[in-house]
């Protein structure tokens, strides 16, 4: 994911001064809107602000943003718990990794792209805005017949799913694959990619209303974990153990996911959602975090070798420089989208100024598919 440049972030801080100065002179400065978080906290820390337009520098492209994908990582950024946000930006910060829109400005030296093209852009923070600037290698053309909200919800989840399932786990045709949170954004992407690879998929969801969405993707077995113990059904589905278990829950299911692996099985970890409280103000609950950290499984390398199992983990925001990996992923994913083998996810939309409501919807655990912010 492309990092917001230092000049872009500096512009978000300096621009309000320019706006006030030009207003005092009776002039109108071109403006954009964005969400800024001044310091860690709850939903009330998401502030909707106006600032001066961004400009594409040499080798950059500016995108007029129509839709913005919302991810659970954004909620962690707001709470001050996302490590790459601390490393690359600090406070204040504008969250957001993925947007869909139209190219409206090309910097010097950019070729192969034209003003007016509909595109999807990857950024490393700065995405909750009506404009973003990025390098061309972080752009992709809009999948055919996809709407802006559908396209904005594509990159983060499908890149995460591809990296977990193919780059790390090397899932093979016929393999039994366990997908937690299968009705969520990454979960639905994982189900689709696993099925496209010829795998057998067992999906676990957190609510009866989510079952149908995963079944509609063609998932062979779907279990609501709140209607009873999901583990017996998982064992019956893969009596010799799963080849791959994909888990973003954290403490709630990691130990069970590992136990359900067969010989040579791989547990892929890409999140820790159950460490955080659902609902409420969205503020950090330090007592809950400490308790869940203590309960999180620790995997002994000696036991791993004896069990013939692997535990793999990743965070794509630390890998944005790997444009070779991004190109490989898009080379795999985009043809499947064009052929209709990968479907856009269902989306729930909010206006950009309703970012707090969007975070509340995502943190509630009740959403299906993607939450998306709209700029127009």
The predicted model gives 362-370 an average pLDDT of 91
84 band by pLDDT with thresholds 50, 70 and 90? very high
Total domains, the chain = 2
Q: Residue 328 falls within a domain, yes or no? A: no
What CATH number corresponds to the domain at position 84?
3.90.180.10
Q: Is it the case that residue 132 has pLDDT exceeding 50?
A: yes
Q: What domain range includes position 76?
A: 6-154+345-374
Residues 11 and 140 grouped into a single domain: yes
**Which contacts of 283-287 are long-range, i.e. CB under 8 A and separated by 24 or more positions?**
283/41, 283/42, 283/79, 284/40, 284/79, 284/80, 284/81
Please give the pLDDT value at position 298. 92
Q: Residue 22 falls within a domain, yes or no? A: yes
Residues 145 and 174 grouped into a single domain: no
Q: Residue 324 falls within a domain, yes or no? A: no
Q: Residue 337 falls within a domain, yes or no? A: no
Q: Is it the case that residue 278 has pLDDT exceeding 90?
A: no
Residues 150 and 169 grouped into a single domain: no
Q: Is it the case that residue 260 has pLDDT exceeding 90?
A: yes
User: Cα–Cα distance between 85 and 81 in angstroms, integer?
Assistant: 8
Q: Residue 126 falls within a domain, yes or no? A: yes
Among 202, 207, 224, CA closest to 365: 207
Helices (H), the chain: 6-24, 72-79, 83-88, 148-152, 155-162, 185-196, 211-215, 231-237, 254-259, 286-295, 301-307, 323-338, 355-363
Residues 170 and 311 grouped into a single domain: yes
315 band by pLDDT with thresholds 50, 70 and 90? very high
What CATH number corresponds to the domain at position 248?
3.40.50.720
Residues 313 and 171 grouped into a single domain: yes
Residues 213 and 290 grouped into a single domain: yes
Q: Is it the case that residue 313 has pLDDT exceeding 90?
A: yes
Q: Which of 86-100, 202-216, 270-284, 294-308 has the lowest mean pLDDT?
A: 270-284
The predicted model gives 225-235 an average pLDDT of 95
The predicted model gives 279-293 an average pLDDT of 81
| DSSP-derived pairing of the beta strands 261-269 and 242-247 | parallel
Q: Residue 197 falls within a domain, yes or no? A: yes
Please give the pLDDT value at position 28. 56
């Amino acid at each position: 994911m492309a990092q917001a440049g230092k000049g872009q972030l500096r512009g978000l801080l300096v621009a309000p001064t320019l706006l006030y100065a030009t207003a005092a002179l009776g002039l109108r400065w071109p403006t954009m809107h964005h969400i800024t978080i001044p310091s860690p906290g709850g939903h009330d820390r998401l502030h909707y602000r106006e600032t001066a337009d961004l400009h594409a520098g040499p080798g950059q492209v500016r995108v007029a943003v129509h839709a913005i994908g919302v991810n659970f990582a954004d909620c962690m950024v707001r709470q001050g718990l996302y490590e790459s946000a601390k490393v690359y930006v600090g406070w204040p910060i504008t969250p957001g990794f993925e947007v869909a829109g139209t190219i409206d400005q090309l910097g010097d030296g950019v070729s192969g792209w034209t003003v007016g093209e509909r595109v999807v852009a990857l950024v490393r923070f700065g995405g909750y805005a009506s404009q973003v600037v990025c390098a061309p290698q972080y752009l992709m053309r809009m999948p055919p017949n996809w709407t802006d909200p559908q396209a904005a919800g594509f990159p983060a989840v499908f890149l995460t799913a591809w990296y977990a399932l193919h780059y790390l786990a090397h899932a093979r045709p016929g393999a039994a694959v366990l997908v937690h949170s299968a009705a969520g954004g990454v979960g639905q992407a994982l189900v689709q990619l696993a099925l496209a690879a010829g795998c057998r998929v067992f999906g676990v969801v957190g609510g009866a209303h989510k079952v149908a969405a995963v079944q509609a993707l063609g998932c062979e077995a779907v279990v609501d974990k709140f209607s009873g113990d999901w583990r017996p059904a998982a064992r019956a589905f893969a009596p010799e153990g799963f080849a791959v278990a994909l888990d973003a829950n954290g403490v709630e299911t990691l130990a069970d996911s590992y136990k359900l692996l067969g010989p040579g099985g791989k547990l892929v970890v890409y999140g820790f959602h159950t460490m955080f409280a659902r609902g409420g103000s969205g503020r950090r609950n330090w007592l809950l975090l400490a308790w869940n950290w203590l309960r999180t499984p620790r995997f002994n390398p000696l036991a791993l070798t004896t069990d013939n199992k692997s535990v793999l983990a990743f965070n794509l925001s630390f890998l944005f420089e790997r444009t070779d990996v991004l190109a490989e992923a898009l080379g795999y994913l985009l043809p499947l989208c064009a052929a209709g083998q990968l479907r856009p996810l269902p989306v729930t939309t909010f206006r950009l100024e309703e970012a707090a409501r969007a975070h509340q919807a995502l943190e509630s655990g009740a959403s299906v598919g993607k939450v998306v912010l709209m700029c127009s």
